[in-house]
């Protein structure tokens, strides 16, 4: 992929995207998704993701939809892929966080994080960002769950 300079319009989109992340409820949802929600099995994942009665279901949906929307903007050419990847790591982190159970998740939820996955498959920088996230997630799981074996797939 030939490197292209981002436009001022791209920068405005990225800044607005960042601004949305700072909204109070979104910050709470993101903190829960990145820091507290660490399912070890697909069943643990689905107990929140497919359970509207779970108080964290809305957080889950808000955060996943947010990052998939950002990835979709890149894939549809609304914002520079290079600028988006340079400025955003969390969506790749979340995809990496669920990598060990992604297959059973997609059996029930076939489109789960498909846009972020497509970014990883289409753009070298996104792939590198994801690989770094996989290493970070693996280290974090080992630190906080040392008794459970976990492998990146």
Question: pTM for the full model?
Answer: 0.90
Q: Is the Cα torsion angle 95, 98, 101, 107 positive or negative in sign?
A: negative
Nearest residue to 1 via CA among 141, 123, 153, 137: 123
**Residue 3: what pLDDT?**
59
Q: Which two tokens stand for residue 149?
A: 């074996």
Q: What is the pLDDT of residue 143?
A: 84
One pLDDT digit (tens) per residue for the chain, 153 residues: 445 789 999 999 999 999 999 999 999 999 999 999 999 999 999 999 999 999 999 999 999 999 999 999 999 999 999 999 999 999 999 999 999 999 999 999 999 999 999 999 999 999 999 999 999 999 998 887 755 444 433
What would the two tokens of residue 71 be?
């990835």
pLDDT given at position 151: 40
Reported residue count of the chain is 153
- Each domain of the chain, given as residue ranges in start order, spans 8-144
């Amino acid at each position: 992929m030939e490197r292209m300079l981002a436009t001022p319009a791209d920068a405005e989109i990225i800044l607005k995207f960042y601004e949305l992340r700072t909204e109070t409820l979104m910050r709470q949802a993101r903190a829960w998704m990145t820091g507290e929600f660490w399912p070890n099995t697909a069943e643990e994942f689905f107990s929140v993701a497919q359970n509207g009665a779970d108080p964290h279901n809305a957080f889950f949906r808000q955060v996943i939809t947010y990052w998939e929307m950002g990835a979709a903007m890149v894939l549809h050419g609304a914002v520079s892929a290079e600028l988006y990847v340079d400025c955003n790591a969390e969506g790749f982190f979340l995809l990496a966080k669920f990598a060990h159970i992604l297959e059973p998740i997609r059996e029930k939820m076939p489109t789960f994080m498909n846009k972020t996955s497509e970014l990883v498959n289409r753009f070298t920088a996104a792939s590198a960002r994801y690989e770094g996230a996989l290493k970070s997630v693996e280290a974090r799981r080992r630190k906080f769950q040392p008794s459970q074996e976990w492998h990146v797939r």
